[in-house]
């Protein structure tokens, strides 16, 4: 397998770690507070659905919500990424995107029907679609090429740290709302008391969202991309993207078709092992602690060994974890698989984004990230929706087995594509 990523030099460790300052640091802090707000809500949405819709259709609602929202937002990533290149501005898209999500999420407290939750989740993802490509381009432009894996993995680690703080905050608040009953509920559907507590919790999630917006508006600075092929403001750079970038996007898209929403893992724990609210939140925290533990090692390993070998390892872990989910019978083994799942995230999330920055010139990174995120997001609709349908029609074990098979096929395709001349 060929080596990938930037040319490796003997960069002192202190020099690599010095990239974690300025925009890289502040965007990590913004991500922390944003995910703290989001994760006070997100892992509890499957439970919230059980209080709004018939239990038999809850998995389909989860799949439709995730697939529709992510796929629609993907179209925005394509547009806003390109616009950020043409205008030479990143921050305006980042601020607008985070602002939309900050407002949309707490409105979940007012939802009284399943479609209300889907609509608000859609609006939240519109915000994500507005900001993501420009934000990743800003990180790529703010980090040294020899430490991009570290920079993007640090950002993902801060994201996951917020995803730990959010559920822990939710536990503290829910205990205040529900007290003793929170720890002992074994109902399959959310009780009226749980629904009232969830609504209060969702409204409070506005506070950390506002903190993220303050950090973003006052501390993140614009970094104008270089304009090697542009002579007038607003002119499209017209720098073609390399074919190896499109090879990479094609393989990631194939993998995504077998990559369903993590909410199905939460739903699996709720329905198969009768986990209560606190146990579900604890499960979500454990998953994100595992993501944090492997994020920086995965990014730094890709800086030293190359991006693509690390990606192959991460995708292989995903396939094995989903295969394990198809067969698991004991709750402790289910937890072990959740912890192992963090390896997949640590070896793929930041690494994929760093590879995009490696493959394209700076003046085209907004467009490239728009294409990358757009392709992944558009593949999310059939991935999550079909998984939900398989779950409802054939059972969760078969659904997980199909997901494992698709992920394994995608991994084999990635290895094959890497052996092609000019593929990367």
Q: 70: which 2 tokens?
A: 């992510």
- CA 169, 177, 205, 350 torsion-angle sign: positive
Number of domains in the chain: 1
Dig out the tokens for 77 from the structure: 């990533």
C-alpha pair distances (Å), 352 with each of 150, 156, 158, 372: 12, 11, 17, 9
Tell me how far apart the alpha carbons of residues 76 and 370 are, in angstroms, rounded to a whole number: 8
237 domain-assigned: no
- Residue at 270 is within a domain: yes
The residues, any chain, with a CB within 8 Å of residue 421's CB and separated by 6 or more, are: none
For the chain (424 residues), the mean pLDDT of every run of 10, in chain order, is: 44 62 92 93 85 81 77 81 88 95 93 90 91 91 85 91 88 73 60 85 94 93 66 53 88 86 84 79 85 90 88 94 93 92 92 89 88 83 83 91 88 74 46
Residue 234 placed within a domain = no
How many Å separate Cα 276 from the centre of its chain?
25
Residue 235 belongs to a domain: no
Tell me what pLDDT residue 386 has: 85
In the numeric block, which tokens belong to residue 257?
Answer: 């078709």
* Dihedral of the alpha carbons of 292, 138, 29, 283, in degrees to the nearest 10: -30
CATH number at residue 103: 1.20.1250.20
Instruction: Supply the pLDDT for residue 29.
Output: 95
- Asked, for residue 8, whether it belongs to a domain, the answer is no
In the 8-state DSSP scheme, what is residue 230? -
Residue 247: C-alpha distances to residues 315, 372, 380, 423 (Å): 16, 11, 19, 6
- Structure token pair of residue 121: 């989740």
Q: Is the dihedral of CA 115, 193, 264, 126 positive or negative?
A: positive
Asked if residue 274 is part of any domain, the answer here is yes
Residue 283 lies in a domain: yes
DSSP 65-104: HHHHHHHHHHHHHHHHHHHHHHHT--HHHHHHHHHHHHHH
CA 204 to mean position of chain CA atoms: 23
Say what the pTM is: 0.74
Contact (Cβ atoms closer than 8 angstroms) between residue 31 and residue 159: yes
Q: In angstroms, rounded to a whole number, what is the distance separating the alpha carbons of residues 220 and 27?
A: 7
DSSP conformational letter for 347: T
- Name the nearest CA neighbour of 28 among 136, 103, 127, 121: 136
Domain that holds residue 160: 16-224+242-418
Q: Within a domain: residue 41?
A: yes
pLDDT at residue 13 in the model? 52
pLDDT at site 104: 94
Please answer whether residues 367 and 85 qualify as being in contact, where contact means their C-beta atoms are separated by less than 8 angstroms: yes
Rounded Cα–Cα distance for residues 307 and 302 (Å): 5
């Amino acid at each position: 397998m060929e080596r990938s990523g930037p040319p490796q030099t003997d960069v002192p460790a202190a020099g690599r770690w010095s990239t974690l300052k300025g925009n890289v640091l502040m965007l990590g802090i913004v991500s922390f507070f944003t995910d703290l707000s989001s994760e006070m809500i997100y892992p509890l949405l499957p439970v919230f659905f059980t209080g709004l819709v018939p239990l038999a259709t809850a998995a389909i609602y989860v799949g439709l919500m995730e697939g529709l929202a992510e796929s629609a937002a993907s179209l925005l990533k394509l547009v806003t990424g390109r616009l950020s290149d043409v205008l030479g501005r990143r921050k305006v898209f980042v601020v607008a995107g985070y602002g939309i999500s900050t407002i949309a999420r707490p409105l979940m407290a007012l939802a009284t029907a399943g479609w209300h939750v889907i609509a608000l989740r859609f609006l939240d993802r519109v915000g994500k679609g507005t900001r993501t490509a420009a934000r990743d381009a800003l990180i790529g432009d703010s980090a040294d090429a020899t430490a991009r894996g570290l920079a993007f993995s640090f950002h993902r680690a801060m994201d996951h740290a917020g995803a730990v703080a959010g559920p822990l905050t939710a536990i503290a608040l829910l205990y205040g709302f529900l007290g003793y009953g929170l720890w002992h509920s074994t109902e399959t559907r959310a009780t009226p008391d749980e629904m009232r507590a969830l609504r209060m919790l969702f409204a409070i999630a506005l506070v950390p969202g506002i903190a993220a917006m303050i950090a973003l508006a006052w501390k993140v600075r614009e970094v104008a991309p270089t304009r090697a092929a542009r002579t007038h403001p607003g002119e499209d750079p017209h720098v073609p993207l390399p074919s190896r970038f499109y090879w990479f996007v094609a393989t990631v898209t194939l993998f995504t078709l077998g990559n369903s929403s993590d909410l199905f893992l939460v739903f699996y724990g709720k329905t198969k092992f009768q986990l209560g609210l606190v146990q579900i939140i604890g499960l979500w925290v454990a998953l994100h602690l595992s993501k944090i533990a492997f994020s920086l090692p995965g990014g730094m390993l890709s800086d030293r060994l190359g991006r693509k070998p690390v990606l192959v390892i991460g995708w292989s872990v995903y396939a094995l974890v989903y295969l394990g989910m198809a067969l698991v019978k004991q709750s402790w083994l289910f937890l072990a698989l959740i912890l192992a799942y963090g390896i997949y995230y640590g070896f793929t999330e930041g690494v994929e984004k760093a590879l995009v920055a490696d493959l394209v010139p700076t003046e085209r990174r907004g467009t490239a990230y728009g294409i990358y995120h757009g392709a992944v997001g558009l593949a999310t609709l059939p991935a999550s929706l079909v998984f939900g349908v398989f779950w409802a029609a054939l059972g969760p074990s078969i659904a997980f087995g199909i997901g494992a098979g698709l992920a394994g096929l995608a991994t084999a395709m990635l290895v094959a594509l890497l052996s092609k001349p000019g593929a990367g």
